[in-house]
Structure 1
């Protein structure tokens, strides 16, 4: 069985990423891209499905690990008595081909080591051919060609497994490199891991040094920014929601989705986080990915796209994988891409508005796209949809979706009044007012003083905490204060907030079916800050920071009963609001305030 999520660290090369366990086993790696088949898939099964372990022999080892400063170079140190050894892992920022580089460093005494390499392309389903070429080994299966260059010789080989046993003393090093390519190897001699590791560390440190945040939470903000950069596909600028698939929202459940794609809903959140942190170039690249991805007719806009902007993301079940902690099915692809979610029109309109407001060079295609989106919304905003949480049941009149339709109309008006762009501002003002009046009449329960999940419902929805973020109502409005109080009462426990009450009944007053959704806790903290309760927001923020693992990573959800992270890992939509809330705590004029205050029109 794979390790608990807290035991994994992330390394990556801005094209794909790997998860390395606390005992220095690479249990997840898709090559050559985030959305490719995994050659190591033990994360979703066991060692039969592919892994690469590099650790000392014997038992009783104490493990410490860390990233080297502000980088994605990972150090795992094993110590026992007077013995100590360090494993250093990194993926060099992509050059000619993807590479995973590992170095064993002797720290104290003489330590016996073992390397086990079990490649299984296509999500653990294929056993490749293994061929020796001097001290290098090649593993071939269909389009996948993996080459292992190793300092220590391979001492054991079977039809499908390579192993080495060796020892390192203080000051000794042993280097390994696994590379991927489609054609024959170029034959270039490998010079070892030292310079590669140093160059990789320097690249990440230089990138992190551009961060504009200089407050008390700098380490957490920089680690989250590094994680976002690692989840960005460099050729297009698209950011995946997570580098994994099918990590469950409930350990024995079926809510196991593929998150290795780009969601439009994350557009504004990502853009603002990058801009506030000083990464204008990356924000501009994300804007360009967004424009390319949604090009076409507005009614054809999807919820999510591939990292290169592709639209077809067919959902398949990988029935040979037993799943993480037995959670099945394991899926590749995501059928939610075909859902109708009204709120994404507001998110795209807002993202392009924020890009313009922050001085990202204007693009004629952006305004042409926005005009088309408004033409569509004017005739379709009343339609029911699947909502922000991508519910696979019947479509409903979700309140949050209507609020985002309001945000779309508001940003269209602002484009005309604030930036002098050509458009029917008066008509859009009337639309904005019409949506506002309907939401307040049908999406608000005056008896309970709270907005509700959908029209005619008594259910709550933590997505309603974002209402002040877009300027629909100020956080101080009594209707928002009532909504916050209702969420605290019905959807929160301590620092944790659930999205909504799911099926399956209740236990200890908490909804069953999934863990608490971590982004919702940051949204609640933002409301406290906007309402002037800064100390309360800070306390909540710091309690959620305490749920990160030892290398600063968060997944999508958290299970307070099992005290475990849940869902795909690491999750962009947990790290993005972490950055935003840290900036909001830094003082007036944080990203939520700037997003909400759009000026007079």
Structure 2
């Protein structure tokens, strides 16, 4: 059985990622890209589906771990009765091919260690053919198009379709294990002759990047760790940012809410851009903006809610039935069938992100504005239609209030682009449509009997996305309708002081079972508190959310406060983006919670 979700740490090289447990086992790794087939898939099954463990033979060994400051280099210290060793794990930058470096160093006494490797390609399905390397210092494993080599300083033995070793490490001694991936039709990947320099270079590059983070008051280190995580989830060659490096970690243990998050969502566009800009990473923000533009280029009627990391559009969902799922949570899903849904909110997210980028000084081409105009023209013809909404429900379309708000936001940012930058466009027509959408939302998306905006037209159910209405500038934070919505969320969506995105038992979303609280939504509530003058409550909620991070500063998508467990894919970019934005909001007591987003124009409440 895999460890608890929070017992894993992230390794990454900005093209792929691995999860390593506090027990020294790498249970998840996709090579050569985030969305490639996993060669270690024990996370969603058993060790027989692929893992690589290096740990003391002594099963009673104690462990502690941390990242080196400002890096994604992980150190796990094992202590036994005989001594102490440190296992140092990293994924070096891709100057050549994908690789893993694992260094075992003796700190005290002598510790007997064991290595247990089960390579399984294609999500644990394909057992490779394993041979010894020509120099005798390791193995080569091949199955179809995939090849992995392991260079080892100790003798390796094959047993029951696994590769194993037992060795002793003395104080001051270091042993380096290098694993490399390459296409099977090419020659063997090169092994670094100086692993110590490779480790030092990896360390230095991360420190150089993370050292540029902007101060965020008492939360600077929390922001730095979240920024490093966000960087690790960025596909360096394209600039796309995956929602998470994993698939099918459940929103409820044993349930069916298991999704593949190794893709890039337009939903995350603006909040991600603002997080990068606030943290001082303009180049990364521009790379993300450029990815957004490339991904959506084409017919406006074919815009998707998510894309592959290169902008791929066919994300067919299928189920590897040989994987039982994390703690029996099935089905496991590869690909994401929601990619072809209609979500009107993505128009607003995209136009808002492009407007924020321009407002922060990122250059915008004429072609980019032409694309935005075409998107607005198409949105003008479909904004009244029902859609699947921000949470990608699978039980049919509805007129989700947040979707309509973001359609309004798309028009608002287009209007502001003309007003602020002198861009060319039908200003009067877009102003009129912006006003029409706003009036429609205030009339149909607000329920005066409960004093709150509602999740969808004609419903009385709440949706945590409504907390973003003042942040996107739809209404001022002090508007009674906004205050009433915050109060309604507190009454209806709170569980143990944290926020659910909606109540599955009362909203037919087409899926059985429950889910945990949604961490990004809880950060949004902290932002709403700050915007409405409830700073002490904002601080208390933010500190509680910080305390939910695991021992190496990582957050999942959701959390179950009843049993104190992380849920959902891990680590989750959306959670870390929200952490960064809230930290900067609270570090400026007199400043706006979302710098760069336009202030709302006062609109009278309906009588």
- Measured against the shorter chain, the TM-score band is over 0.9
Structure-2 residue corresponding to 1:535: 536
Q: How does 1:451-466 map to 2 (within 5 A)?
A: 451-466=453-468
Say if 2:82 and 2:110, in contact at 8 Å, map to a contact too: no
Q: How does 1:100-139 map to 2 (within 5 A)?
A: 100-133=100-133, 134-139=136-141
Please, what is the CA RMSD of the aligned residues? 1.6
Q: How does 1:382-421 map to 2 (within 5 A)?
A: 382-421=384-423
Question: CA offsets per residue over residues 225-267 of structure 1, 9 Å max, x none?
Answer: 0000000001100000000000010101111000000000101
Q: How does 1:15-26 map to 2 (within 5 A)?
A: 15-26=15-26
Whole-angstrom CA distance in 1 between matches of 2:438 and 2:597: 18
Say if 1:127 and 1:141, in contact at 8 Å, map to a contact too: yes
Whole-angstrom CA distance in 2 between matches of 1:267 and 1:299: 19
Matched, 1:245 2:251: no
Whole-angstrom CA distance in 2 between matches of 1:41 and 1:310: 24
Question: CA offsets per residue over residues 556-581 of structure 1, 9 Å max, x none?
Answer: 00011221000000000100010000
Structure-2 residue corresponding to 1:515: 516
Structure-2 residue corresponding to 1:297: 299
Q: How does 1:495-574 map to 2 (within 5 A)?
A: 495-503=497-505, 513-574=514-575
Judged with a 3 Å threshold, the aligned counterparts in structure 2 of structure 1 residues 36 and 445 are, in CA distance, closer, same or farther, namely same
Which SS does the other structure have where 1:316 is aligned? coil
Matched, 1:211 2:220: no
Say if 1:51 and 1:118, in contact at 8 Å, map to a contact too: yes
- Shift in Å, 1:218: 1.1
- Shift in Å, 1:438: 0.8
Structure-1 residue corresponding to 2:76: 76
Say if 1:276 and 1:591, in contact at 8 Å, map to a contact too: no
Q: How does 1:204-283 map to 2 (within 5 A)?
A: 204-283=206-285
Judged with a 3 Å threshold, the aligned counterparts in structure 2 of structure 1 residues 435 and 147 are, in CA distance, closer, same or farther, namely same
Selected match of 1:472 from 456, 468, 474: 474
- Shift in Å, 1:598: 7.1
Whole-angstrom CA distance in 2 between matches of 1:260 and 1:558: 20
Which SS does the other structure have where 1:332 is aligned? coil
Selected match of 2:442 from 414, 437, 440: 440
Give TM-score scaled by structure 2 length. 0.96
Say if 2:216 and 2:223, in contact at 8 Å, map to a contact too: no
Question: CA offsets per residue over residues 511-547 of structure 1, 9 Å max, x none?
Answer: 9610100000000000011111112101100001111
- Shift in Å, 1:166: 0.4
Selected match of 1:484 from 483, 486, 493: 486
Judged with a 3 Å threshold, the aligned counterparts in structure 2 of structure 1 residues 222 and 495 are, in CA distance, closer, same or farther, namely farther
Whole-angstrom CA distance in 2 between matches of 1:504 and 1:372: 38
Whole-angstrom CA distance in 1 between matches of 2:506 and 2:57: 45
- Shift in Å, 1:80: 2.6
Say if 1:72 and 1:226, in contact at 8 Å, map to a contact too: yes
Whole-angstrom CA distance in 1 between matches of 2:331 and 2:190: 42
Give TM-score scaled by structure 1 length. 0.97
- Shift in Å, 1:476: 1.1
Whole-angstrom CA distance in 2 between matches of 1:146 and 1:550: 31
* Structure 1 runs not aligned, ≥5 long: none
Which SS does the other structure have where 1:377 is aligned? helix
Structure-2 residue corresponding to 1:36: 36
- Shift in Å, 1:113: 0.3
- Shift in Å, 1:187: 6.7
Say if 1:103 and 1:173, in contact at 8 Å, map to a contact too: yes
Which SS does the other structure have where 1:112 is aligned? strand
Whole-angstrom CA distance in 2 between matches of 1:559 and 1:596: 35
- Shift in Å, 1:84: 0.6
- Shift in Å, 1:596: 3.6
Say if 2:475 and 2:600, in contact at 8 Å, map to a contact too: no
- Shift in Å, 1:593: 4.4
Structure-2 residue corresponding to 1:581: 582
Question: CA offsets per residue over residues 6-44 of structure 1, 9 Å max, x none?
Answer: 100001000000000010100000000000000000000
Judged with a 3 Å threshold, the aligned counterparts in structure 2 of structure 1 residues 184 and 444 are, in CA distance, closer, same or farther, namely same
Runs of 4+ in 1 over 4 A off after TM superposition: 186-189
The number of residue pairs the alignment matches comes to 595
Say if 2:405 and 2:474, in contact at 8 Å, map to a contact too: yes
- Shift in Å, 1:336: 0.5
Matched, 1:10 2:19: no
Whole-angstrom CA distance in 2 between matches of 1:528 and 1:301: 34
Whole-angstrom CA distance in 1 between matches of 2:328 and 2:290: 40
Whole-angstrom CA distance in 1 between matches of 2:296 and 2:92: 31
Say if 2:356 and 2:596, in contact at 8 Å, map to a contact too: no
Which SS does the other structure have where 1:347 is aligned? helix
- Shift in Å, 1:471: 0.2
- Shift in Å, 1:199: 0.7
Say if 1:530 and 1:593, in contact at 8 Å, map to a contact too: no
- Shift in Å, 1:366: 1.6
Say if 1:175 and 1:192, in contact at 8 Å, map to a contact too: no
Comparing 447-456 with 81-90, greater Cα deviation is found at 81-90
